[in-house]
Amino acid sequence: MTRDPVAPEPAGEGGQGVSGQSVLAVFAHPDDAELGCFGTLASLREVGFGVHIVSLTSGSSSSSPHAAWRTAEAKESASVIGANLVIENFVDGGLELKRETYACVAEHLSRTNPSVVITHMTGAQDHQDHETAGMAALTMAGRCTGVKLILQTEPPLMNNLFCPNFYVDITGFMPHKLAAVGQYVSERGKPYVAEQAIRDRATWWARQAETHEVTDTRYYEAFRMTKAKLHPQWLVPGLSAPAQEPLA
Ligand SMILES: [Zn+2]
C-alpha cells in the first residue's frame, strides 16, 4: 500500500521545543499515547520539550460504532498540550512489520530528532498492532545516537508480562491526561479508559515508586526502560550536560 498520512497536524510550537529537546511517541492507534504516557509527555512539554505523537493507523477498525471519530478526537487530545500529531494510514488491525513500516518510523525519527522515544511494550500479547509498532520503533530508535532514553508503556490489557523499571511522577499532569483521554468519546465504555481505572493504575504505580511515602494523592506512569544514556550532571539541579559528548 502507499502510505498517505491522513492527518499531518503540526500543533503548537512543535519542533525541538524551547529546551532544544524533543520527545517522539510512536504508537499504533489514537488513544494509545494518551493511555500509556500522556502525563509524561505533558511533563516534558512543561520543561520545554517539543512533543511529537505518531499514530501509525487511524484506529478505524475499533469495535466502537464511532471509530471514524478517532482522528478528530486525536487532534483535540494533542492540542491539550500543544503536541504535534501525525496519523499515518497503515491498516488498523493489520499493521505489518515490513520495510515500509520501518521506513515510516525512520522518517519521523529524522524529522523530529528526539532525545526521548516512547512506544509500546513488546511481547505483551495484548494487540498485534502494538507489537508491530513497538518493534519498529525500538529497532529504528535504537540506532539513533541522539536518542538518550527509550521507554515502553504499560499495555492497557493483558499486562501480566509488564515489569516496569522506570517511573515518572505525573501528579501535576493528571488533569492533562484525563482531559486527553476524555476527548475519545468514541472509546467510552471500554474499561481501561474510565477515569477511575486511569487513577487506579497511576496510584498503584505511585505506591511502587515511592515506597516510603504516603502516596494516596500521587500519580505515576510506569515504563520498561530499554535504553538510557546518563550524564551525572542531569541529576544535579542547575547543571546541564556538556553540549558535545566526548568521543570514546
Ligand atoms: Zn492501541
As a whole number of Å, the CA-based R_g of the chain is 17
Distance, CA of 45 to CA of 101 (rounded, Å): 27
Q: Classify residue 124 as left (phi > 0), alpha (psi -120 to 50) or beta.
A: alpha
Q: What SS3 string covers 87-112?
A: EEEECCCCCCCCHHHHHHHHHHHHHH
Burial grade of 190 (CB within 10 A; 0-12, 13-18, 19 or more): middle
Strand ranges for the chain from DSSP E: 22-27, 50-57, 84-90, 116-120, 149-153, 166-169, 220-228
**Could you tell me which residues are beta bridge partners of residue 223?**
153, 166
- Domain assignments of the chain as residue spans, ordered by start: 9-235
Report the 10 Å Cβ neighbour count for 119. Answer: 30
| Cβ atoms 134, 5 nearer than 8 A | no
* 82 Cα: distance to centroid of ligand 1 (angstroms): 22
* 221 Cα: distance to centroid of ligand 1 (angstroms): 17
What CATH fold (topology level) applies to the domain 9-235? Rossmann fold (3.40.50)
Q: For residue 186, how far is the Cα from the chain centroid? A: 20
Cell of 174: 493528571
Q: Among all chains, which residue has been given the C-alpha cell 483521554?
A: 181
Distance, CA of 176 to CA of 166 (rounded, Å): 21
What residues of the chain score a pLDDT lower than 50? 1-2, 6-13, 248
Q: Quote the pLDDT of residue 61.
A: 79
* 130 Cα: distance to centroid of ligand 1 (angstroms): 6
* 129 Cα: distance to centroid of ligand 1 (angstroms): 7
Q: What is the pLDDT of residues 158-194, one digit of tens each?
A: 778 899 999 999 999 999 999 999 999 988 888 889 9
* 92 Cα: distance to centroid of ligand 1 (angstroms): 9
* 193 Cα: distance to centroid of ligand 1 (angstroms): 12
